[in-house]
Amino acid sequence: MVHLDKVPVREGYTFTGWYADKDLTEKIGEIKMTSNKTVYAGWEATGVPGWLNGEDHFAYIIGDDEGYVRPLANVTRAEFAAICARFDTGTADGESNFTNISGHWAASEIRRAAQLGWIQGDPDGRFRPNAPITRAEARTIINRVLNRLPEEKEDLLEGRNEWPDNLPGAWYYLAVQEATNSHVYERKGEVYEHGTEMHADPNWRDYQ
Average pLDDT, the chain: 80
Say if residue 122's pLDDT is above 50.
yes
The model carries a pTM of: 0.58
Eight-state DSSP code of residue 153: G
Contact 142, 206 (CB under 8 A): no
Out of 11-15, 74-78, 180-184, pick the least confident. 11-15
Contact 155, 195 (CB under 8 A): yes
pLDDT score, position 204:
43
pLDDT score, position 208:
38
Residue 206 banded pLDDT, cuts 50, 70, 90: very low
Say if residue 205's pLDDT is above 50.
no
Cα dihedral 65→70→74→77 (10° resolution): 120
Sign of dihedral through CA atoms 83, 88, 89, 94? negative
For 11-47, the pLDDT digits (tens) are 556 788 889 888 888 888 887 777 788 888 888 765 5
Eight-state DSSP code of residue 44: E
Say if residue 89's pLDDT is above 60.
no
In terms of C-beta distances under 8 Å and separation of at least 24 residues, what long-range contacts does 88-91 make, across chains too?
88/46, 88/49, 88/112, 88/116, 88/145, 89/49, 90/14, 90/49
Tell me the mean pLDDT in the region 119-137: 85
